[in-house]
Amino acid sequence: MSTEFDPTPRPALQPALRKATDSDVHPTTGLPSATADAVLEGKKVPLVVRVPKKLRKRAREVASADGISVDELVASALSAEVRRRSR
């Protein structure tokens, strides 16, 4: 083994990774799937968040007007933001 540094670049050992052609199909169901749609599925777990009192009051008003709970409103808003950022 040589102790001198050789600055010439070496070829890559393996090709770069790329997305599979069937990556949008769920492996077990065979149905199209999207990560964003899966965000609202699954086991519900508690999330404790501290928010300003005025924001909590406004969220309660909006949820009440829509006929949903504050938890559903927050989960929907969080899901929409996650979808927006993952594009």
Higher pLDDT, 18 or 29: 18
Whole-prediction pTM: 0.53
Chain mean pLDDT for the chain = 80
E strands, the chain, where? none
Reported confidence tier of residue 52, pLDDT bands at 50, 70, 90: very high
Task: Convert the pLDDT of each residue in 64-82 to its tens digit.
Answer: 999 999 999 998 898 888 8
Given a contact cutoff of 8 angstroms between Cβ atoms, the answer to whether 25 and 32 are in contact is yes
